[in-house]
């Protein structure tokens, strides 16, 4: 895992130089590929439907997955700088940080993930049922039927567990909460916390998109807890430091980056994070010295 770091202070609120441009060639390439895939799947699905072919349903299923992928690539890659600071809010929580100023994860990204998971689950459950039927009607020991049941059944079981963990809150839409005491991060499949006194630096890095890292000492009260084994996120490797991927946030990730830098450098201002003053500072991007 390669992580390029940037530790030089920035004179104004802006996109850190180490971060690749949101509308850069890589992201546009991903979006273009997803659009081509969507158009291809939809075209084949329409043709198969008109010809009354039995595979039409399979291609419509693929079209829905491609549509979800296209939406995800747009929201998680191209739309990073279009996100509104109005999504910053004040929350009273039972977590270690208590009352704090909160930035949630993107609802659009969260909804896209779950829509794709449900669509995939329905499709693979259907393929599993067809494979089991084929195994029962063919001669005992048919290798292709056994392989199909094992493959489709395994994916179906994983997706069922994925949805179950979501219902239990082990996989959840995340958030980042800044309080006078520290920073709490709830990601999709893990939770972490770092008191301000344990934070050495706030760092910008590139990890296939913007990464914000609070470098914390291991003996300063920072902690990390994994809530689900079904989703291994790359940023877990940076624990006990808090690692936050910008693509998941409901705001421009540069806003959170500069907010963390501001409150790390200004301990006297941290008390406002437990009031609307902290929310207003972030919404107005008043984060320079």
Instruction: Give, in words, the CATH class of 84-105+174-283.
Output: mainly beta
Domain positions in the chain: 20-78, 84-105+174-283, 107-172
Neighbours of 138 (CB within 10 A): 12
Taking alpha carbons only, the member of 97, 108, 114, 119 closest to residue 74 is 108
Which residues, in sequence order, are CB contacts of 259 under 8 Å at separation 6+? 178, 281, 282, 287
Burial of 117 (C-beta count, 10 Å sphere; 0-12/13-18/19+) = middle
State the Cα–Cα distance between residues 254 and 242, nearest whole angstrom: 16
CB-based contact 193:96 (threshold 8 Å): yes
Taking alpha carbons only, the member of 5, 29, 27, 32 closest to residue 81 is 27
Cis peptide before 240 (omega within 30 of 0): yes
| pTM greater than 0.85 (yes/no) | yes
State the Cα–Cα distance between residues 220 and 234, nearest whole angstrom: 23
Residue pLDDT tens, the chain, 289 long: 444 444 333 334 688 999 988 778 888 999 999 999 999 999 999 999 999 998 999 999 999 999 999 999 999 888 888 887 778 999 876 555 568 999 999 999 999 999 999 999 999 999 999 888 888 876 555 777 788 889 999 999 999 999 999 999 999 999 999 999 999 999 999 999 999 999 999 999 999 899 999 999 878 889 999 999 998 898 888 888 899 999 999 999 999 999 999 999 999 999 999 999 999 999 998 988 6
Task: Name the strand (E) or helix (H) holding 135.
Answer: helix 107-137
């Amino acid at each position: 895992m390669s992580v390029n770091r940037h530790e030089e202070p920035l004179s104004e609120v802006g996109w850190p130089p180490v971060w690749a441009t949101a509308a850069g060639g890589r992201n546009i390439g991903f979006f273009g590929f997803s659009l081509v895939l969507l158009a291809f799947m939809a075209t084949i699905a329409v043709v198969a439907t008109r010809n009354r072919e039995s595979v039409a349903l399979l291609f419509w299923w693929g079209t829905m997955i491609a549509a979800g992928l296209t939406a995800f690539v747009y929201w998680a890659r191209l739309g990073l700088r279009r996100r509104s600071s109005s999504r910053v809010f004040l929350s009273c929580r039972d977590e270690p940080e208590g009352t704090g100023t909160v930035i949630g994860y993107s609802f659009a990204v969260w909804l896209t993930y779950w829509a794709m998971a449900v669509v995939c689950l329905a499709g693979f459950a259907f393929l599993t049922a067809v494979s089991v039927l084929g195994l029962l009607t063919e001669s005992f020991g048919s290798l292709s039927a056994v392989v199909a049941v094992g493959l489709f059944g395994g994916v179906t079981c994983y997706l069922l567990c994925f949805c179950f963990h979501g219902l239990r809150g082990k996989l959840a839409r995340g958030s980042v909460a800044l309080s006078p005491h520290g920073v709490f991060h709830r990601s999709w499949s893990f939770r972490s916390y770092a008191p301000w006194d344990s934070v050495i630096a706030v760092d910008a890095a590139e990890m296939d998109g913007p990464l914000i890292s609070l470098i914390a000492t291991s003996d300063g009260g920072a902690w990390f807890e994994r809530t689900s084994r079904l989703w291994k996120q790359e940023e877990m490797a940076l624990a006990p430091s808090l690692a936050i991927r910008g693509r998941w946030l409901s705001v421009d990730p540069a806003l959170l980056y500069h907010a963390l830098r501001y409150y790390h450098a200004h301990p006297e201002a941290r008390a406002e994070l437990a009031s609307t003053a902290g929310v207003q500072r972030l919404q107005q991007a008043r984060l320079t010295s």
